[in-house]
Amino acid sequence: MKVESFIPPLRTLMGPGPSDINPRVLAAMARPTIGHLDPRFIELMDSIKELLKYAFKTQNEVTFPISGPGSAGMEACFANLVEEGDKVLVCINGVFGQRMYENVLRNGGVPIVIEDSWGEPIDLNKVEDALKKDDDIKIISFVHAETSTGVLSDAKALGQIAKDKIIIADTVTSLAGSPLYVDQWGLDAVYSGSQKCLSAPPGLSPVSFSEKALSKIKTRKSKVKSWFLDLNLVLNYWSGDQARSYHHTAPINSLYALHESLVLLKEEGLENAWKRHHDLSSYLENQLKGLGFEYLVHPDYRTPQLNAVTIPEKIKDKLFREILLNQYNIEIGAGLGPLAGSIFRIGLMGASCTYKNIDYLINAIKRISINY
CA distance 214 to 225: 16
- One of 3.30.420.10, 3.20.20.70, 3.40.640.10, 3.90.550.10 is the CATH number of 23-266, namely 3.40.640.10
The reply to whether CATH 3.90.1150.10 applies to domain 12-16+269-370 is yes
Give the pLDDT confidence score for residue 239 in this predicted structure: 87
Give the residues across from 64 on adjacent strands. Answer: 207
pLDDT tens sequence for the chain (372 residues): 899 999 999 999 999 999 999 999 999 999 999 999 999 999 999 999 999 999 999 999 999 999 999 999 999 999 999 999 999 999 999 999 999 999 999 999 999 999 999 999 999 999 999 999 999 999 999 999 999 999 999 999 999 999 999 999 999 999 999 999 999 999 999 999 999 999 999 999 999 999 999 999 999 999 999 999 999 999 989 987 656 888 999 999 999 999 999 999 999 999 999 999 999 999 999 999 989 999 999 999 999 999 999 999 889 999 999 999 999 999 999 999 999 999 999 999 999 999 999 999 999 999 998 776
As a whole number of angstroms, the distance between CA 203 and CA 193 comes to 8
Asked whether 161 and 350 are in contact (CB, 8 A), the reply is no
Which residues contact residue 108 at a Cβ distance below 8 angstroms, ignoring those fewer than 6 apart? 82, 83, 84, 85, 86, 225
Q: How far apart are CA 189 and CA 213, in angstroms?
A: 7
For residue 142, list its beta bridge partners. 169
User: Any idea where the domains of the chain sit in the sequence?
Assistant: 12-16+269-370, 23-266
Residue pLDDT, tens place only, 124-144: 999 999 999 999 999 999 999
Residue of 100, 39, 105, 110 whose CA lies nearest to 73: 100
Q: What per-residue confidence (pLDDT) applies to 49? A: 98
CA nearest neighbour of 145 among 204, 196, 208, 69: 196
Q: What angle do CA 156, 160, 161 make, to 5 degrees?
A: 115
Residue 68: CA atoms inside 13 Å, Cβ hemisphere, count? Answer: 14
CA distance linking residue 190 with residue 250, whole number of Å:
21
Angstrom distances, CA of residue 18 to CA of 13, 209, 266: 7, 25, 20
- Rounded Cα distance, 250 and 266, in Å: 24
Report yes or no: 19 and 352 within 8 Å, Cβ to Cβ. yes
Burial of 271 (0-12, 13-18, 19+ CB in 10 A): exposed
Task: Provide the pLDDT for residue 242.
Answer: 58
Q: What pLDDT is stored for residue 348 in this prediction?
A: 98
Phi and psi of 25, rounded to 5°? -70, -40
Give the list of residues 6+ apart from residue 233 with CB closer than 8 angstroms, or none. 227, 247
294-295 and 306-310 strand pairing = antiparallel
Q: Give the whole-angstrom CA distance, residue 167 versus residue 327.
A: 45
Burial class of residue 181, CB neighbours in 10 A (0-12, 13-18, 19+): middle
